[in-house]
Amino acid sequence: TATGVCVLRRDTVHEGSQLLLSACLSCDGCLSEEESLKISQQSLEEVERVLALNKKCDVSKHKVLVASICPQSLPFFAVKFGLDITEAAHKLCGFLKTLGVQFVFDTTLAAGFSILESQREFIQRYRRRHHDSHALPMFTSSCPGWIRYSERVLGSLVTPHICTARSPQQVMGCLVKKYFSKQQKLSPEKVYHVLVAPCFDKKLEAVREEFYNSLLETRDVDCVLTSGEIYCLMEQRKVSVEELDSVPLDHVLGEAGDVALVRHEGRGSEGFLEHVFKHAAKELFGLDVHEITYKHLRNRDFQEVTLERDGETLLQFAAVYGFRNIQTLVHRMRKGRVPYQLVEVLSCPGGCLSGRGQAESEAGGKVDKVLIQQMEEAYSSLPIRLPEVNPALHTLYQEWLQGQDSQQASTLLHTQYRNQSHTQPPHMQW
């Protein structure tokens, strides 16, 4: 499609007119007309339309623009700007505020919620594994390409196994529309929330119906723009990075002072596997794991992590990235040969830093490997902070959600996945 959201984007393989599963994003190879329309509205033009209306209409009808930046997008700007991540983030914030964006956040806080909720859900699933055949393996839920493929093609084979914790994007959407807007004494529909992401598929996630408030006619995330789209806008406007003000990011909690940029563990995709692995080792077996050793299987994008004690395997997790590896995983699952309790699944080879919204070469169509390596180096330079020790998360669990075990936390931090298609397209080869 014109939005770049459809198929033939990742590890594309052609054989005449046929399409291998490894080249497919999702169900039947295309988007519905309704989806295409919704996604077409997630564009720079739509953001500029909202900004233009703010200039023309009565103040009472203004929308407050809020931008949230994924931590995987910041390395892209760091490399493009030739700056370290923190300074690049400040320059990007300065640019967004020149456009008319009033608040700029980093989504690491939201990812912390996703990680903590995923940890809790894994423990619950593990403890009921003997009487619930759908409890394990648990599949991560942060990648919308994987989720769409699961719902549209794999169906009941996989959907009951998907972790119900909302992705960092949608937790951030909920945080902005249901907490921050209230703190600002604004109705959610008065806030226009833009999210900057490395991946086009995040546009699809934003338009899911469960993230839409029909009463107020507002979405948790109104518009997803890729890192590349933002950078193109800067180029179109001939913006000089040197001339941009360096503006610190804002705090969701409204605190003064600079936001210290940190990252979570893992290879650049929030590290769900590592966080859940270490938490489960401690919670279930009383073992402290400080370093995780990955064992490469088929390739760099199919790896295993194992916890052993006295020769006994206690936990076995896997990281599976890219549709070629997902295809292998699905084959094994159909045959009942998946030994893992948790699988971190991402549809982009290399993970989120390699999202096609920022990692394609300027010629288009191919991944820029040099750029990806530079982004990985930039991302790894950020200090690691565990979500468990983030005081802002503890504050929000109490002030916003009335505790970790509350109904509010269950409702706002979780969602459900469902079967949406029942037949495999005839052109798809296994």
Per-residue model confidence as pLDDT tens digits over 381-414: 999 899 999 999 999 999 999 999 999 999 999 9
- All CATH 3.40.50.1780 domain ranges in the chain, comma separated: 31-110+167-260
Q: Cβ contacts of residue 207 below 8 Å, gap of 6+?
A: 35, 38, 39, 42, 219
Please tell me the distance from the alpha carbon of residue 57 to that of residue 52, in angstroms, as a whole number.
9
Mean pLDDT confidence for 338-345: 95
Please tell me the distance from the alpha carbon of residue 331 to that of residue 208, in angstroms, as a whole number.
28
pLDDT digits (tens, 9 = 90+) for 26-63: 334 456 677 677 777 788 888 988 988 888 877 777 89
- Second-level CATH architecture of 31-110+167-260: 3-Layer(aba) Sandwich (3.40)
Indicate the pairing of strand 312-321 with strand 302-309: antiparallel
**Which pLDDT score is estimated for 321?**
93
Residue 94 scores a pLDDT above 70: yes
The pair of structure tokens assigned to 413 is: 């931090």
Give the confidence band of 24 by pLDDT, cuts at 50, 70, 90.
Answer: very low
Sign of the CA dihedral 27, 221, 40, 367? negative
Identity at 102, one-letter amino acid code:
Q
Q: What is the mean pLDDT of the chain?
A: 86
Give the confidence band of 430 by pLDDT, cuts at 50, 70, 90.
Answer: very low
CA atoms within 13 A of residue 226's CA, in its CB half-sphere: 23
- All CATH 3.40.950.10 domain ranges in the chain, comma separated: 113-166+264-388
The pair of structure tokens assigned to 120 is: 């809790």
pLDDT digits (tens, 9 = 90+) for 129-147: 999 999 999 999 999 999 9
- Second-level CATH architecture of 113-166+264-388: 3-Layer(aba) Sandwich (3.40)
Determine the number of helices (DSSP H) and then strands (DSSP E) in the chain. 15, 14
Give the confidence band of 256 by pLDDT, cuts at 50, 70, 90.
Answer: low
Residue 426 scores a pLDDT above 70: no
H-helix or E-strand spanning residue 338:
none
**Which pLDDT score is estimated for 69?**
97
Angle at which helix 108-127 crosses helix 391-399, to 10 degrees, equals: 70
**Which pLDDT score is estimated for 320?**
94
Please tell me the distance from the alpha carbon of residue 54 to that of residue 221, in angstroms, as a whole number.
19
Residue 305 scores a pLDDT above 80: yes
**Which pLDDT score is estimated for 360?**
84
Dmax over CA atoms of the chain, in Å, equals 71
pLDDT digits (tens, 9 = 90+) for 263-298: 888 777 778 999 999 999 999 999 999 989 899 887
